[in-house]
Structure 1
Amino acid sequence: MQVEAYSGQVDIPSRAANVAPIMRSPREKLIAAWGIAWVSMLLGRAIWSLTPWAIEPWTEGLMTTGQQGLYIGWLVANAYLEGYRGFQLRFSPRVVSRAVYLGQNPRPLWVVLALPFCMSLFHSTRRQMTVSWGFIGALVLVIWWVRTLPQPWRGIIDGGVVLGLLWGLGVIWWLFARYLAGAQAPPPNDLPLEKAAEGEPVPG
Structure 2
Amino acid sequence: MKWIATIWGILGVTAFIGTAIIRLYEKAALAFSPAYELTTMHWIIMVAFSIFMLIAEGYRGFQKKFSPRTAARTHYLFQHSTPKRLLLAPLFCMGYFDATKKTRIIAISLTAGIICLILLMRLVPMPMRGVLDVGVVLGLSYGLLSYFCFLVKVFTKKDHGHSPEMPQ
Corresponding residue to 2:134 among 159, 167, 186: 159
Query: Distance in 2 between the 1:100 and 1:179 partners?
Result: 6
Corresponding residue to 2:118 among 143, 153, 156: 143
1:88 — aligned with what? 63
Query: Distance in 1 between the 2:83 and 2:161 partners?
Result: 23
How has the CA–CA distance of structure 1 residues 163 and 72 changed in structure 2, closer, same or farther, with 3 Å as cutoff? same
Cα RMSD for the two superposed structures:
1.7
Corresponding residue to 1:51 among 14, 20, 25: 25
2:94 — aligned with what? 119
Query: Distance in 2 between the 1:138 and 1:150 partners?
Result: 21
Decide whether the 8 Å contact of 2:24 with 2:133 is kept in 1: yes
Instruction: Pick 1 or 2: higher relative contact order, CA cutoff 8 A, min separation 6.
Output: 2
Q: Does 1:133 align with 2:113?
A: no
Query: Distance in 1 between the 2:163 and 2:153 partners?
Result: 16
Decide whether the 8 Å contact of 1:29 with 1:100 is kept in 2: no
1:152 to partner: Cα distance? 1.4
Structure 1 gap ranges (5+): 1-26, 194-204
1:28 to partner: Cα distance? 4.5
1:108 — aligned with what? 83
1:159 to partner: Cα distance? 1.1
Query: Distance in 1 between the 2:30 and 2:90 partners?
Result: 31
Aligned letter for 1:166? S
Decide whether the 8 Å contact of 2:50 with 2:138 is kept in 1: yes
Q: Which stretches of structure 1, 4 residues or more, deviate above 4 A after TM superposition?
A: 27-30
Larger-gyration structure (1/2):
1
1:62 to partner: Cα distance? 2.7
Structure 1 window deviating more from structure 2 (124-133 vs 184-193): it is 184-193
Decide whether the 8 Å contact of 1:120 with 1:129 is kept in 2: yes
1:71 — aligned with what? 46
1:156 to partner: Cα distance? 1.8
Tell me the TM-score normalised to structure 2 length: 0.91
Structure 1 residue matching 2:95: 3-state secondary structure: coil
Structure 2 residue matching 1:59: 3-state secondary structure: coil
Query: Distance in 2 between the 1:122 and 1:59 partners?
Result: 43
Aligned letter for 2:65? R
Q: Deviations over 1:119-172 (max 9, x none)?
A: 111111112211110110111111011012111121122111111110011111
Give aligned-pair identity as a percent: 30
- From the two aligned structures, give the one with the greater helix fraction: 2
Question: For this pair of structures, how many residues does the alignment match?
Answer: 166
Query: Distance in 1 between the 2:2 and 2:21 partners?
Result: 29
Structure 1 window deviating more from structure 2 (67-76 vs 152-161): it is 152-161
